[in-house]
Amino acid sequence: MTHDRIPLAGVIGSPIAHSRSPQLHGHWLRSMGLRGFYVPMDVAHGDLERVIRTLPRMGFVGANVTVPHKESVMRIADKITDRATLIGAANTLIFRSDGTIHADNTDGYGFIENLRDGAPDWDAPTGTALVLGAGGAARAVIASLADAGVPEIVLTNRTRVRAERLNEDFGQRVRVVDWVQAANALEEAALVVNTTSLGMTGQPDLRVPLDGLHKGQVVTDLVYNPLKTNLLQKAKQAGCTTVDGLGMLLHQAVPGFERWFGARPVVDAAAREAALA
Ligand code: ATR
């Protein structure tokens, strides 16, 4: 008697209880009538490699990776996509039938798809993009903006040296400005992206002066808890097009799901609701 395998996937992080990915993937599996499971895995740093090497033997076809392991998994993977190499982190693992582990980073893809959904009029080849923050999320955003053909990317970060280091890694592709000059840059930008954790529930608000925001700009925040950060509220009042961060979480999950479970899921209102449940 033969048993066809039911594909298993999950998300690896620590802590992991807050992750929205299990609800989202579970919703897609159910709504598409697919067989499969997607589970949260709280994995300590010291166990990361052992867990990742064990999962394929247990029937796992892949996994998402989140904080704090996105950089560490790069050392474990056998093959890494160019975009993950450029960002220096991976969020999606594929366990291939030949036993190799492939790592990809779909954050930048998720960011751009969310922007295209929420601001269909946004025209990448014109105007400046201002990116606030220079952490891992900013790297993914900048890689995807450069890829989309944005002619000028301005980067500002509280710790300037971190922004400069990022610029070096990206071949001096961006213009770094001081955090205290963010207000000027904000006024001139066609697209404003907050990649810092400021505005998130439990964190202070983004304190950059926001009075320069005006109609015609697109403003997006990677923060999705709450959906309307102080930046997005102020931008909305100023007549900007606003895009919240939840869609990025949904879109970045699409390539992994499609690869593991064999069908492309849709990012729609039901998926948003499932991720927030
Ligand atoms: P992620 O990988 O999610 O981007 P990270 O690498 O910890 O997370 O980066 C967090 C970003 O938020 C950084 O740009 C950080 O600025 P610093 O490089 O100066 O630390 C920014 N950030 C966090 N708290 C901040 C605060 N209170 N004021 C300004 N920026 C802040």
Give 173-203 pLDDT, tens digit per residue. Answer: 999 999 999 999 999 999 999 999 999 999 9
Calculate Rg over the CA atoms of the chain: 19
Number of domains in the chain: 2
Q: Where are the strands (E) in 105-188, listed by range?
A: 128-132, 152-157, 175-178
Residue 68 sits at the vertex; the CA angle it makes with 67 and 69, to the nearest 5 degrees, is 100
CATH code (residue 74): 3.40.50.10860
Which residue CA neighbors atom 14 of ligand 1 most closely? Answer: 133
pTM: 0.96
Considering only CA atoms, which of 192, 217, 68 is closest in space to residue 141? Answer: 192
- Asked whether 243 lines ligand 1 (CB < 6 A), one says no
The predicted complex's ipTM stands at 0.97
Quick: pLDDT tens for 102-128. 999 999 999 999 999 999 999 899 999
CA 135 to chain centre: 12
Q: Do 79 and 188 share a domain, yes or no? A: no
Q: Do 113 and 239 share a domain, yes or no? A: yes
Confidence of residue 146 (pLDDT cuts 50, 70, 90): very high
pLDDT of residue 199: 97
CA 158 to ligand 1 center in whole angstroms? 8
Q: Do 63 and 148 share a domain, yes or no? A: no
pLDDT of residue 2: 54
* Separation between Cα atoms, residue 190 and residue 176, nearest integer Å: 17
Ligand 1 atom index nearest CA of 159: 19
Contact of 139 with 146, CB cutoff 8 Å: no
CA 253 to ligand 1 center in whole angstroms? 23
Task: Tell me whether residue 75 is annotated as binding.
Answer: no
pLDDT higher than threshold 70 for residue 1: no
Ligand 1 atom index nearest CA of 137: 4
CATH code (residue 188): 3.40.50.720
2, part of any domain: no
What three-state secondary structure class fits 82?
helix
Which residue CA neighbors atom 21 of ligand 1 most closely? Answer: 196
Kindly state the percentage of the chain with pLDDT values over 90: 97
Give me the domain span that covers residue 117: 108-244
Task: Tell me whether residue 161 is annotated as binding.
Answer: yes
147, part of any domain: yes
70 is catalytic: yes
Q: Do 211 and 112 share a domain, yes or no? A: yes
pLDDT of residue 264: 98
Which residue CA neighbors atom 4 of ligand 1 most closely? Answer: 135
Confidence of residue 4 (pLDDT cuts 50, 70, 90): confident
Quick: pLDDT tens for 150-171. 999 999 999 999 999 999 999 9
